[in-house]
Amino acid sequence: MSKKKKKKTVKYKQVTITVSSRQKKSLINYCKSRKSTPNKIIKKAIRPLLENYHDLEVNLTSSRVNQLQLFSLE
């Protein structure tokens, strides 16, 4: 018999967002109508934005290019 492999534990990070009282009321009413929780609704909404970008390399160097050369010495 083969031994079962241990599953790798998933590390979670906490994220805090701020919503207005009206937005919270809307979220709670939406959750009640869908019989779900606010956490599940928010995760479901942002999942497509977060899934495919973990390997993306971000180029943070920004070089400003002068497009208008009024006093060019050349």
Q: Please choose, from the candidates 53, 34, 32, 54, the residue with its C-alpha nearest in 3D space to the C-alpha of residue 44.
A: 34
> What are the domain boundaries of the chain?
21-49
The per-residue pLDDT for 33 is 96
Q: What is the mean pLDDT of residues 29-57?
A: 91
CA 33 to chain centre: 25
Give 42's contacts (C-beta < 8 A, 6+ positions apart): 17
- Tell me the pLDDT tens digit for each residue of 1-40: 678 888 889 899 999 999 999 999 999 999 999 999 999 9
